[in-house]
Amino acid sequence: MSVPRKPLRYIFLSAFLMASQRHLPAQDEPAADAGRWQARSMVQTKFGIVATSQTLASAAGAHILEIGGNAIDAAIAANAVLGVVEPMSDGMGGDLFAIVYEAKTGKLYGLNASGWAPAGLTLDALERKGFNKMPQRGIYSVTVPGAVAGWDTLRSKFGSMPFQRILAPAIYYAENGFPVTEIIGSAWQGATKTLSANKGAKDTYLPDGQAPKIGGIFRNRDLAGSLRLVAAHGREGFYKGSTAEALIREAKEDGVEWTRADLAEFQPEWVTPISTTYRDWTVTELPPNGQGMAALEMLNIMERFPLSEYGHNSAKALHVMIEAKKLAYSDLLRYVGDPRYTKVPVERLVSKDAASARAKSILVNRASCSVTPTELAWLARLPGADTIYMSAIDREGNMVSLIQSNYSGFGSGVVAPGTGFALQNRGALFSLERGHPNAIAPRKRPLHTIIPAFMQKGDTRIAFGIMGGWNQSQAHAQFVSNIVDFGMNIQAALEAARFTKGTFDGCDLFMETRIPAEVVKELESMGHVIQLAGPYSGRMGGGQAVMSNANGVHFGASDPRKDGAAVPENPVFENR
Q: Which residues are catalytic?
A: 387
Q: Residue 353: is it exposed, middle or buried by C-beta count within 10 angstroms (0-12/13-18/19+)?
A: exposed
- The residue length of the chain stands at 576
- How far lies 446's CA from each of 418, 432, 435, in Å? 28, 11, 14
Cα 333 to Cα 346: distance, rounded to the nearest angstrom? 13
Sign of CA dihedral 171, 176, 181, 183: positive
Cα 558 to Cα 544: distance, rounded to the nearest angstrom? 5
Q: Which long-range contacts (CB under 8 A, 24 or more apart) does 122-127 make?
A: 122/440, 122/441, 122/442, 123/432, 123/434, 123/439, 123/440, 123/441, 126/432, 126/440, 127/432
* Helix (H) / strand (E) containing 269: strand 269-271
Phi, psi values for residue 428, rounded to 5° = -60, -20
Cα 248 to Cα 251: distance, rounded to the nearest angstrom? 5
Cα 446 to Cα 121: distance, rounded to the nearest angstrom? 12
Nearest to 151 by CA among 192, 94, 89, 196: 94
96 contact partners, CB below 8 Å, separation of at least 6: 79, 111, 113, 114, 146, 147, 150, 151, 268, 402, 403, 404, 405
Cα 413 to Cα 409: distance, rounded to the nearest angstrom? 8
Taking the mean position of all CA atoms in its chain, how far away is CA 428?
18
Rounded to a whole number, what is the largest CA-CA distance in the chain? 75
Cα 531 to Cα 180: distance, rounded to the nearest angstrom? 30
* Helix (H) / strand (E) containing 110: strand 107-113
399 contact partners, CB below 8 Å, separation of at least 6: 71, 100, 101, 103, 391, 392, 393, 454, 461, 463, 546, 548
- How far lies 327's CA from each of 59, 215, 301, 486, 565, in Å? 40, 44, 9, 23, 34
Do residues 180 and 212 make contact, with C-beta atoms less than 8 angstroms apart? yes
Nearest to 143 by CA among 84, 96, 98, 187: 96
Sign of CA dihedral 77, 467, 490, 53: negative
